[in-house]
Amino acid sequence: MGESGITKIAKNIKKLLVYQPERLPDPFVLDENQGDGKTAKEPPVALKGVRELESMLRYARRLAIFMEKTIEILRNGQRPDKAELLQIEYTALEQQQGELSAIKLSYNSTEAVEPAISTSLEENQKVIEDLYNLPLNKDVVIRKLTIPGQPAVKAMLIFMDGLADKKVVNMTVLNPLMMMRNARPELYSADLVNIIIEQYLPSGQASRVGSFKEVQQGINTGDAVLFFDGIGEAVTVETKGFEHRGVDRPATEQSVRGAQNAFTEVLRVNTALIRSMLHSSDLVTEMIPVGKRGHTNCAVMYLASIANRNLVAEVRRRIQGISTDLIIDSGILEHLIVDFPSNPFPQTLSTERPDRVVEHLVEGRVGILLDGSPFGHIVPITIFTLMHSADDFSLHYYYTNMLRMIRWIGGFMSMLLPGIYLAISTFHQEAMPTELLLSITAARAQVPFPTIFEILIMELAFELIREGGLRIPGILGSTIGIVGAIILGQAAVTAKIVSPIMVIVIAVTGLASYSIPDYRLASAFRLFRWIFVLLALAMGLVGMACGFAVFTAVLCSMKSFGAPYLAPIAPKTTPGGDIILRKASHMQQRRPDELNPQDDIRQSAVSRPWTEEPSIGGDEL
């Protein structure tokens, strides 16, 4: 019965007059997982073992179908080739039964058992679907195909859309396998996987794999994986074809005369860049996958006849011993493998230049490259290595040495200058020449703040400009940085917030910090600058001297992959000719002693034997 008009009006009036709370959707609260992370990831008890149970059911179903088929063939008395087919299917079922024992074990046990590649395509598909959350996940492509043969082989191709090049997949996998109608080989009669790899896959890299771990590694890195019915193995085919940046000029390690190419984000491109510079069969590239949740390939490169074997083993041990979810950057990798991760001083040489990696590999060091990172690591290193720049190798050594001295002076200035100024101006004014002291005093007379406050303000402003300049896009960043610094400095002096001498001190310190070739070393010096300022504030030059002594002791106690950080100066070892200063290339006979390479000698004492030979040009002029 419909409502009467009066009732409707009464209802509407009531709705209008009586307050009704606003209807809001239930708020979403991101609660913590119940219990610890481990249990949260496990399936509920009721579902435990469902996958194994399903596998067994599928086997039972397949067995039932097979039996029905057999009965039918026997009743009808069909051709002998059908019997051959039955034989193949029977073998596959036998193998699957063998696999069931592991599944049963997994079903009965409380711990998860790593699934093995099954002889059943259906089983393998199920595992892949579980691993990649299919059909929710749209990136993974499963392509089923039948390879013509005697009998035909059912197969399944899996690859990651976007990572694998579809053209390559078509050309090197699908085409050759599906277009062999004329041949119709007896694939099951021999080693099927071997025949497929050797005769039918025209890919540069195709290999057989026996576990889902390897299958996942292949799929996740852009390879295509082929499964065959009745075969408990798979084949990975290289079909990588994801988009990536091309080889470009170095962004942070520019060189005037050196090589002009830099690493990219693709590991194989990077290893190839190194190989293209170091044509040696002695160069070894080991691939170590790291990360539990996402496997990232890490390449360890060394010259087998030069690098210390213990060093290589230690690098391998440390990388293999990493237990973390994912490593996406070489900086994270560094923290996971160095001896003193909490020390701000870099313990690896991080470079984007293949030529620098090559230079160090030849000295007996080990290179570490990570997939996805355009920076490689070189280990072990000393603090002196960090003060070398890419151009050092291509310029005349006199000029190189002059530049290196400037860098060292710059390094010390960037760390100590504000502290020294603070110490002298606060505690040891007598050390300043009288005229200079009077000029500083006059400049500071109208500044109402103590020197330490001036330093802190200016340092903070400088760091702000530096950080802001980095974030502002394009060339605008550097322009704003320069203009900002000038305007800010001028305005601060005019406003009598800081004295002109302080602007000079901070500007010189900032410039000096840019003279350090390694960005991380420069950052460490910048950090220590604050400490030295505080030490100078507390105890003047005495505080700075104490701080410097401790600073030196800390550096002396550090090691980078077993090599002392201040070698060959402390401890004193045989120098290789390239420490603070660099000898001419023909005079660098030995490799760095602290690396303990297998072969100490880099070149013979007479590396220019032509100087001892008679000149072709005849007698002297």
Q: Given the structure tokens 């025209």, which residue do they identify?
A: 202
Find the binder of other proteins among 386, 440, 503, 544 (CB under 8 A): 544
Q: Report the nearest approach of other proteins to the CB of residue 322 (Å).
A: 25
Q: Report the nearest approach of other proteins to the CB of residue 591 (Å).
A: 20
Closer residue to other proteins, CB minimum distance, 21 or 433: 433
**Sign of the CA dihedral with 107 first, then 113, 115, and 120 last:** negative
Find the binder of other proteins among 199, 260, 552, 574 (CB under 8 A): 552
Helix, strand, coil share of the chain (percent; to 5): 50, 10, 35
DSSP state letters, 214-261? HHHHHHHTT-EEEEETT-S-EEEE--B----PPP---SSS--SSS---
Q: What DSSP element (H or E) covers 477?
A: helix 476-494
CA 9 – CA 290 distance, rounded (Å): 72
CA distances from 25 to 20, 28, 31, 32, 557 (A): 15, 9, 17, 21, 61
Strands, E, within 392-445: which ranges? none
Any contact of residue 501 with other proteins (CB under 8 A)? Answer: no
Closer residue to other proteins, CB minimum distance, 73 or 581: 581
Q: Report the nearest approach of other proteins to the CB of residue 423 (Å).
A: 9
CA distances from 173 to 157, 168, 178, 226 (A): 9, 8, 8, 9
Three-class SS of residue 157? strand
Find the binder of other proteins among 572, 574, 584, 606 (CB under 8 A): 572
Closer residue to other proteins, CB minimum distance, 212 or 561: 561
Find the binder of other proteins among 556, 584, 587, 606 (CB under 8 A): 556
Any contact of residue 71 with other proteins (CB under 8 A)? Answer: no
Q: Report the nearest approach of other proteins to the CB of residue 433 (Å).
A: 4
CA 101 – CA 311 distance, rounded (Å): 43
Token pair recorded at residue 95? 């193998």
Identify which of 457, 342, 463, 471 has the alpha carbon closest to the alpha carbon of residue 414: 463
Closer residue to other proteins, CB minimum distance, 264 or 425: 425
Q: Report the nearest approach of other proteins to the CB of residue 432 (Å).
A: 9
**The one segment of 26-34, 179-187, 309-317, 544-552 that binds other proteins by CB under 8 A:** 544-552
Find the binder of other proteins among 53, 74, 113, 550 (CB under 8 A): 550
Find the binder of other proteins among 287, 497, 541, 581 (CB under 8 A): 541
Any contact of residue 57 with other proteins (CB under 8 A)? Answer: no
Find the binder of other proteins among 50, 442, 460, 570 (CB under 8 A): 570
Q: Report the nearest approach of other proteins to the CB of residue 543 (Å).
A: 7
Q: Which of residues 21-50 bind other proteins (CB under 8 A)?
A: none
Any contact of residue 580 with other proteins (CB under 8 A)? Answer: no
Q: Report the nearest approach of other proteins to the CB of residue 524 (Å).
A: 18
Q: Given the structure tokens 């609260």, which residue do they identify?
A: 29
How would you class 182 by CB atoms within 10 Å of its CB: exposed for 0-12, middle for 13-18, buried for 19 or more?
A: exposed
Contact string 396-435 vs other proteins (x = CB under 8 A): ----------------------------x--xx-xx-xxx
Residues 6+ apart with CB under 8 A from 301: 271, 274, 283, 284, 285, 286, 357, 361, 366, 367, 368, 369
Q: Report the nearest approach of other proteins to the CB of residue 419 (Å).
A: 12
Find the binder of other proteins among 199, 310, 557, 574 (CB under 8 A): 557
**The one segment of 42-50, 87-95, 365-373, 563-571 that binds other proteins by CB under 8 A:** 563-571
Find the binder of other proteins among 542, 581, 585, 590 (CB under 8 A): 542
Q: Say which DSSP state 136 is in.
A: T
Q: Given the structure tokens 């013979």, which residue do they identify?
A: 604
Closer residue to other proteins, CB minimum distance, 470 or 556: 556
Q: Say which DSSP state 614 is in.
A: P
Any contact of residue 380 with other proteins (CB under 8 A)? Answer: no
Find the binder of other proteins among 63, 313, 549, 601 (CB under 8 A): 549
Any contact of residue 546 with other proteins (CB under 8 A)? Answer: yes
Q: Are 93 and 66 in contact (CB under 8 A)?
A: yes
How many residues sit in the footprint of other proteins (CB under 8 A)?
A: 31
Closer residue to other proteins, CB minimum distance, 476 or 549: 549
Q: Report the nearest approach of other proteins to the CB of residue 200 (Å).
A: 59
- Side chain identity at 161, as an amino acid letter? D
Relative orientation angle of helices 500-514 and 476-494, to the nearest 10 degrees? 160
Rounded-to-10 torsion of CA 356, 362, 364, 367: 40
Q: Report the nearest approach of other proteins to the CB of residue 424 (Å).
A: 7
Q: Report the nearest approach of other proteins to the CB of residue 516 (Å).
A: 19
Closer residue to other proteins, CB minimum distance, 202 or 571: 571
Closer residue to other proteins, CB minimum distance, 485 or 566: 566
Closer residue to other proteins, CB minimum distance, 406 or 549: 549
Q: Report the nearest approach of other proteins to the CB of residue 408 (Å).
A: 14
Q: What DSSP element (H or E) covers 289?
A: strand 283-290
Q: Report the nearest approach of other proteins to the CB of residue 568 (Å).
A: 11
Q: Report the nearest approach of other proteins to the CB of residue 554 (Å).
A: 7
**Sign of the CA dihedral with 310 first, then 316, 321, and 326 last:** positive
- Side chain identity at 187, as an amino acid letter? L
Any contact of residue 305 with other proteins (CB under 8 A)? Answer: no
Three-class SS of residue 87? helix
CA 66 – CA 579 distance, rounded (Å): 76
Token pair recorded at residue 509? 């310190």
Binding residues for other proteins (CB under 8 A): 424, 427-428, 430-431, 433-436, 538-546, 548-550, 552-554, 556-557, 566, 569-572
